[in-house]
Amino acid sequence: MKRAVAQLFGLCYISFATFLMLFSERLSPMVHESVKQHHARISAEIRRHNRLYYQLDRPEISDAEYDRLFRELQGLETKHPELASADSPVRQVGAPPAGKFSPVRHAVPMLSLRNARDLAEFREFDKSLRQTFLAGVDLLEYACEMKLDGVAVELSYEHGHLVRASTRGDGSVGEDITDNIRTLTGIPHQLKDYPPLLDVRGEVFIDLDDFQRLNRRQQEAGEKTFANPRNAAAGSLRQLDAAVTASRSLRMYCYGVGRGEGLDLPTQLAILKQLQDYGLPVNLTGTSLCLGPDQVAECFNHLLAQRETLGYEIDGMVVKVNDLELQQELGELNRRPRWAIALKFPPRQATTRVESVVLQVGRTGAITPVAHLEPVNISGVTVSRASLHNWDEIARLGLLSGDSVIVERAGDVIPDIVKVLHQRRSGAEQQIPFPEWCPECEAPVSKEENEVVPRCTNSSCPARTIERLKHFVSRGAMNIDGLGEKQLRQLNDLGKVHDCADLYQLGQPDLFAMERMGETLAGKLLQSIADSRTRPLSRLIFALGIRHVGEQTAKLLARSFANLEALAQAEPEELKQLHEIGDKVAESLCDFFRDPLQIDLLQRLRENGVDPQSEAVATQGGPLSGKSVVITGTLQRWSRREAEQRVEHLGGRCASSVSKKTAMVIAGDNAGSKLDKARALGIEILDEQRFAELVEGAQP
Ligand code: D41
């Protein structure tokens, strides 16, 4: 059904183009103008989607829809070769770099892949290779690899040492992401055995559970969440602060070679094995050798069945002619090798109807619209809700409540609405108004200028209260067992619990007022509340639900301050000295700790015995105790993140910029302005060797 609908769409679109083309061929040159215009319009649209996808990590259409546009353009250019200019999107790969990082020219261009939508298209590809280029060959040997849905990157090794990493960019020039790539634990900084020069290509991706954890963290910190794992990987790689990349558990699998001096191998499979022997991560178990298209089909169906069990997203299979001599012979066309093709999985889409749009109020007061759908099955999962994100998204889709829509599951998250089927409207559909009052407490709603979400302004809104309590007791926070949403609502309705401090004043009689609460259960609950008093400081900071303070930031703060009192007293400038704390977080912290309601709450928490002390106290007395340290330049022995951890282990605190408060600067290779500034200020400077001695000296 979903395929049929998708095809119907494709048909409508293509038939319009065909109509124009037929017209242009039979009639006047004036009509030909409209084909030109159509071509220009699709080209511009594809360029826009390239930019959204490759540079902004914010795609607006599904891959399947993009493919349709692309094929339409290809079709037009085949019919009218005079339209095919050198800069047509048909001949481009991705998008040029967005300019955040320095450009890197790939010594050997990184090619793109052509696509086959199904096995029939793959069989055509196989047939045309054999007939057009390899007359007489019956069965071609193919290496079939999983097509990871991530970000293509290149790693350059000189004498086995990782010297540069770059994104693919437009295939010729990408962006320098060396610092970020160095934080990936699976990528060796030094190869075991190596040729003098090696450029390796591969895909960086994120596991589904890490992706979900990341999105939870982002949401809890009030940051933007990622639409799918691919965007999360792309966004995490393109961080200006490598420490952020380090916290995101990215992985990489290598699949090919650019420059490879002294590398003389017969097949694609031999390349993969060689890369593995060098110590690089390769997905060999996900790769099969297939003789002829029947075996490829079998392998594809097997992979399709495996897809849901992998723990990471793949969106198809890449089929490559295994023999490298044959590859050479086949060459490339339009910056795509003739010897490889991506056999894509069918999109996980379905058509359903939006029954209603419900407004949810989060703990920070953010009001988000959620579409309730007529339940529909998408590849084995029943879907009844879709996220709408915000009103910009509703406007972009042109969505009304009651509309028929296409929903798409991407990477195990709550699905997205990708398209509204406007032609199916009955007239009974209704606008989704921007809220003026909170749907829960009817307090007025405010919207800050630079934000897309409306917020409830009432900090004691019952919906917010419950969400705050849910967050406080959640597993990553104070981890109090037995207190779910239902129990918290009851306690709140009974007037027993208004905020988290109230939890610590509960006694057995209070609990007995709840439904189905016996002595044993009440005892257990009181015990788990009591146990939570000893949670580490980082958990408590996170549990308070301060805007922009996620788990990572909470950990950092807990390492830097002795207790909550000390954190509450910190000046914004002092906070900003910490690595990873920017203006936004510092301001949010100060707002929180200056709010009289919160001051009262913290006092009551303390009075009830919730006052954990920093775990970092243990490192007090270390050689860097209490010192603010700045690391700059490239270190050989450690990644930036590892070096920071060592500084923290020695009792120090890492800051990102040099100031009068900096006690020490650790300078690696190619250190620049920070080192100059440190010299000018007369700050103690350690080179890598002396820092290493300090680390070793402190080891037990
Ligand atoms: O797993 C992948 N996404 C993957 C991508 C793969 N397994 N193999 C690939 N091989 C190539 C060629 C044949 C051009 C060396 C690729 C890609 N290219 C690719 N990834 C992004 C653009 C092209």
pLDDT score of 654: 80
Q: Which residues make up the CATH 1.10.150.20 domain(s) of the chain?
A: 462-607
Q: Which one has a higher pLDDT value, 560 or 99?
A: 560
pLDDT score of 94: 65
Report the alpha-carbon distance of residue 337 to residue 113 in Å, rounded. Answer: 7
Q: Which one has a higher pLDDT value, 390 or 580?
A: 390
Given the CA of residue 320, which atom of ligand 1 is nearest to it? Answer: 13
Among 71, 125, 297, residue whose Cα is nearest residue 63: 71
pLDDT tens-digit map of 450-460: 777 899 999 88
Cα–Cα distances in Å, from 667 out to 174, 206, 614, 622, 630?
A: 27, 31, 29, 20, 8
Architecture of domain 620-698: 3-Layer(aba) Sandwich (3.40)
Q: Is the pLDDT of residue 30 over 50?
A: no
Contact between 500 and 523 under an 8 Å Cβ cutoff? The reply is no
Report residue 93's pLDDT band, with 50, 70 and 90 as the boundaries: low
Q: Which residues make up the CATH 3.30.470.30 domain(s) of the chain?
A: 103-344
For residue 114, the Cα-to-chain-centroid distance in whole angstroms is 25
Contact between 511 and 522 under an 8 Å Cβ cutoff? The reply is yes
Annotation marks residue 273 as catalytic: no
Among 643, 657, 647, residue whose Cα is nearest residue 577: 657
Percent helix / strand / coil, the chain, rounded to 5: 45, 20, 35
Report the alpha-carbon distance of residue 144 to residue 698 in Å, rounded. Answer: 50
pLDDT score of 239: 85
pLDDT score of 412: 56
Report residue 374's pLDDT band, with 50, 70 and 90 as the boundaries: very high
Provide the token pair at 77: 């250019």
Contact between 193 and 277 under an 8 Å Cβ cutoff? The reply is yes
The residue contributing the CA closest to ligand 1 atom 23 is 112
* Residue 102 alpha carbon to ligand 1 centre in Å: 23
Q: Which residues make up the CATH 2.40.50.140 domain(s) of the chain?
A: 349-425
Given the CA of residue 336, which atom of ligand 1 is nearest to it? Answer: 14
Report residue 470's pLDDT band, with 50, 70 and 90 as the boundaries: very high
The residue contributing the CA closest to ligand 1 atom 2 is 147
Provide the token pair at 215: 């999105």
Report residue 9's pLDDT band, with 50, 70 and 90 as the boundaries: very low
Q: Is the pLDDT of residue 96 over 70?
A: no
For residue 429, the Cα-to-chain-centroid distance in whole angstroms is 34
For a mutational test of ligand 1's pocket, the pick from 318, 320, 321, 344, i.e. the residue with the most ligand atoms closer than 8 A to its C-beta, is 318
Match 């609502």 to its residue by tokens. Answer: 489
For a mutational test of ligand 1's pocket, the pick from 237, 255, 282, i.e. the residue with the most ligand atoms closer than 8 A to its C-beta, is 255
State in Å, rounded, how far the first CA of the chain is from the last one. 65
Pocket of ligand 1 (CB under 6 A): 111-113, 145, 147-148, 152, 203, 255-256, 318, 320, 337, 340
Helix (H) or strand (E) holding 573: helix 572-576
In the predicted model, what is the mean pLDDT of residues 93-108? 77
Specify the pairing of strand 416-420 against strand 197-206.
unpaired
Report residue 645's pLDDT band, with 50, 70 and 90 as the boundaries: confident
Cβ-proximal residues to 237 (8 Å cutoff; 6+ apart), any chain: 151, 153, 167, 177, 180, 181, 204, 245, 250
At position 685, the amino acid (one-letter code) is: I
pLDDT score of 413: 63
In the predicted model, what is the mean pLDDT of residues 490-498? 94
In the predicted model, what is the mean pLDDT of residues 349-358? 93
Report the alpha-carbon distance of residue 637 to residue 567 in Å, rounded. Answer: 33
Among 592, 610, 586, residue whose Cα is nearest residue 364: 592
3-state secondary structure of 582: coil
For residue 693, how many other CB atoms are within 10 A of its CB?
Answer: 11
For residue 13, the Cα-to-chain-centroid distance in whole angstroms is 32
pLDDT score of 29: 44
In the predicted model, what is the mean pLDDT of residues 343-347? 88
In the predicted model, what is the mean pLDDT of residues 362-370? 90
pLDDT score of 273: 96
In the predicted model, what is the mean pLDDT of residues 524-546? 94
Report the alpha-carbon distance of residue 169 to residue 102 in Å, rounded. Answer: 12
Report the alpha-carbon distance of residue 376 to residue 366 in Å, rounded. Answer: 28
Q: Is the pLDDT of residue 59 over 80?
A: no
In the predicted model, what is the mean pLDDT of residues 5-11? 37
For residue 607, how many other CB atoms are within 10 A of its CB?
Answer: 12
Q: Which one has a higher pLDDT value, 200 or 76?
A: 200
Report the alpha-carbon distance of residue 413 to residue 651 in Å, rounded. Answer: 40
User: May I ask the CATH class of domain 27-91?
Assistant: mainly alpha
Among 357, 359, 354, residue whose Cα is nearest residue 383: 354
Domain covering 462-607, topology: DNA polymerase; domain 1 (1.10.150)
Domain covering 349-425, topology: OB fold (Dihydrolipoamide Acetyltransferase, E2P) (2.40.50)
Report residue 68's pLDDT band, with 50, 70 and 90 as the boundaries: confident
Report residue 95's pLDDT band, with 50, 70 and 90 as the boundaries: low
Cβ-proximal residues to 489 (8 Å cutoff; 6+ apart), any chain: 466
Query: For 207-242, what is the HEC assignment?
Result: CHHHHHHHHHHHHHCCCCCCCCHHHHHHHHHCCCCH
Contact between 258 and 199 under an 8 Å Cβ cutoff? The reply is yes
pLDDT score of 98: 59
Q: Which residues make up the CATH 3.40.50.10190 domain(s) of the chain?
A: 620-698
The DSSP bridge partners found for residue 352 are 405
In the predicted model, what is the mean pLDDT of residues 182-193? 91
Q: Is the pLDDT of residue 341 over 50?
A: yes
Q: Is the pLDDT of residue 331 over 70?
A: yes
pLDDT tens-digit map of 175-184: 999 999 999 9
The DSSP bridge partners found for residue 669 are 634
pLDDT score of 579: 67
The residue contributing the CA closest to ligand 1 atom 21 is 152
Report the alpha-carbon distance of residue 327 to residue 339 in Å, rounded. Answer: 6
For a mutational test of ligand 1's pocket, the pick from 70, 115, 146, 147, i.e. the residue with the most ligand atoms closer than 8 A to its C-beta, is 147
pLDDT score of 26: 38
Task: Say which of 2, 147, 344, 576 is annotated catalytic.
Answer: 147
3-state secondary structure of 63: helix
* Residue 113 alpha carbon to ligand 1 centre in Å: 7
Q: Which one has a higher pLDDT value, 48 or 524?
A: 524
Cα–Cα distances in Å, from 661 out to 586, 651, 656, 681?
A: 18, 16, 12, 10
Q: Is the pLDDT of residue 23 over 60?
A: no
Cβ-proximal residues to 283 (8 Å cutoff; 6+ apart), any chain: 145, 146, 148, 253, 255
Report the alpha-carbon distance of residue 511 to residue 530 in Å, rounded. Answer: 14
* Residue 145 alpha carbon to ligand 1 centre in Å: 9
Q: Which residues make up the CATH 1.10.287.610 domain(s) of the chain?
A: 27-91
Q: Is the pLDDT of residue 117 over 70?
A: yes
In the predicted model, what is the mean pLDDT of residues 154-177? 94
Average of per-residue pLDDT values in the chain: 86
**Where are the strands (E) in 297-346, listed by range?**
314-321, 332-333, 336-337, 340-344
User: May I ask the CATH class of domain 103-344?
Assistant: alpha beta
Cβ-proximal residues to 444 (8 Å cutoff; 6+ apart), any chain: 436, 437, 438, 457
Q: Which one has a higher pLDDT value, 616 or 172?
A: 172
Lowest mean pLDDT among 3-7, 120-124, 277-281, 555-559: 3-7
Report residue 4's pLDDT band, with 50, 70 and 90 as the boundaries: very low
